A and B are shown apart, each in its own frame.
Chain A
């Protein structure tokens, strides 16, 4: 190992130690099962919003956006826009009612709303599937980053992240993870902002080399009708998929009330908006200085533009930010998946906190093994698929469940199956795709534009056909979802 690896190694050790230290502090204040699952619902909006930002900004945001924009240009700006606008859609349609529903997890919400064990079981399967789909690329990205930073084999990075996450989640649960993730948002922002400012000063001093136009780099969508379709499908998947990601939803239950849930979400919009200004700066500088167009452009740019100690320090800082990204997103996903596993699979065999710890081990172990055994699965595709599946399943369930009394259990099952099978079949097909130019591949590669309407349609039609089975408590449940907490009402 050359000395080039030293800053990265130091950064990795410091971030892991800080994460474990803050997690241990959380352990001292975590006592009850409610602490473990939802931090006893006492997290203030400012802290909670930092934690949501920390959890949400994954490797795809920290490393991926800059690399995508460097490679494919302005059309990739739709990903960060969609990941932010997804919170606006979530804010206006589900934030406060979801908190007021009083459920721990998405399957809890489905069961409380529809009084059906069948819908609950289906939601549990979907939470675990989407969670694992999203965890896999986090572990793979950690492997890639570590091999780029310190020249280690790829399984080492995945294993380090996996172990830190299991220890942290298993020891302190939601309350300790809230502190860890709030810390990691600010770490990630600093790790991207400070080097960006330094590099911009250098760029200015170098006579502001241009990025060079041409070859469609500044075009905000791909060519032709296929480009238009692909852009709109990405927009739909990201705008609507955010609300259905299990690690996003579980955070809303930690707010004290519906009003706090809204204010938290608004703060998240601001935090994400500030963060996403930065990756395109790295992409543009990378293009101006001729960086290699691969996933690690953010990590390599400081040394490319600045030699000596300065370059080493900045490299250490961005590596620390990248590891914070893997750790926080993996922790959030592990919490969500462990919560579902603990309640729905292990609940019968173990007591509350033990079930949560066993759940955390399984939740991390499976995708970790997959990442180590099958390192060639496409990273970017898995994240995109997670959004498409979430938009095609949980989005219609939440929106219709919250705003339409007529939703029935049979309708929910039909919609979840239609959307889930449609969107995942699309992506399984693309993994084996042949001719990427054909319309069939374009439609299947970005399924959201047809699978989301399909899921909504199936849910509404089957609900109307089974109108007689509308749950009797639907009206009372609407009272609970929509009335402010200051009004003393019977909420069922």
Chain B
């Protein structure tokens, strides 16, 4: 049981990459069907995001004139010492617009990051 250990031999397969993989950007440059799929997915994500943000804007801010038109008494309800209409339209609407913008910028940059990962021009850093 005291055989000398055989010298350790590193066993490896053939080099995995003899050349860099064909960049997926080539599919977009050469306008292949696959490239079309990549481009469409980016466009659909970004447009869908824009439409969702605008829909939230329309429902939260765009509906206010109709609401006050239908229920005029609502405008005069006092809250924090101000009539509701002043509180909403003079004060709260501005931070809300900023938050919507912040959400959009984060998501849009995320979509672009995913696109760069898909095309393998960025290493996944997560």
Contacts and interface: CB of A to CB of B under 8 A. Distances in A.
B101 to A, nearest CB: 5
A190 B83 CA distance: 27
Nearest to A69: B90
B25 A232 contact: no
B100 A475 contact: no
Contact of A277 (B64, B68, B90, B98): B90
Interface in B97-126: 97-98, 100-102, 104-105, 108-109, 112-113, 115-116, 119, 121-122
Interface in A24-82: 74, 77-78, 81
Interface in B40-95: 42-43, 46-47, 49-50, 53-54, 57, 61-62, 64-66, 68-69, 72, 75-76, 83, 85-86, 88-91, 93-95
A263 B88 CA distance: 26
B50 A218 contact: no
A78 B89 contact: yes
Contacts of A265: 101
B101 A269 contact: yes
A218 B98 contact: no
Contact of B68 (A220, A272, A280): A220
Nearest to B46: A482
Interface in A87-144: 87-89, 91-93, 96
A218 B76 CA distance: 7
A193 interface: no
Nearest to B50: A92
Nearest to B29: A490
A475 B66 CA distance: 41
B97 A84 contact: yes
A235 B42 contact: no
Contacts of B86: 74, 77, 218, 280
A262 B108 contact: yes
A352 interface: no
Interface in A185-236: 213, 218-221, 227-228, 231-232, 235
A89 B53 CA distance: 9
A198 to B, nearest CB: 20
A13 interface: no
A30 B94 CA distance: 36
B37 interface: no
Contacts of A87: 101
Given A220-B65, A266-B102, A269-B97, A280 B90 contact: yes
A485 B46 CA distance: 15
B57 A489 contact: no
B39 A235 contact: no
A78 B90 CA distance: 9
Chain B, interface residues (CB within 8 Å), range? 35 or more
A85 B57 contact: yes
A487 B94 contact: no
A323 interface: no
Contacts of B121: 486-488
A269 B95 CA distance: 9
Contacts of A488: 25, 121
A484 interface: yes
Interface string A236-270: 00000000000000000000000100110110011
Given A93-B50, A221-B65, A484-B116, A277 B105 contact: no
Nearest to A279: B90
B85 A220 contact: yes
A453 interface: no
A475 B90 contact: no
A218 B83 contact: yes
B115 A266 contact: no
Contact of A266 (B43, B57, B66, B105): B105
A269 B98 contact: yes
A277 B91 contact: yes
B39 A92 contact: no
B109 A259 contact: yes
Contacts of B31: 475-476
A490 B119 CA distance: 14
Nearest to A92: B50
Contact of B115 (A213, A262, A487): A487
Given A88-B57, A221-B68, A277-B90, A489 B102 contact: no
Contacts of A218: 75-76, 83, 85-86
13 contacts: A74-B75, A92-B53, A93-B50, A213-B76, A213-B83, A218-B76, A218-B85, A219-B72, A220-B65, A231-B65, A403-B43, A483-B28, A490-B28
Given A81-B61, A92-B49, A490-B28, 19 more contacts: A85-B57, A87-B101, A91-B104, A91-B105, A92-B50, A92-B104, A219-B72, A219-B75, A220-B75, A221-B65, A266-B101, A475-B31, A478-B43, A482-B39, A483-B39, A484-B113, A487-B121, A489-B25, A490-B29
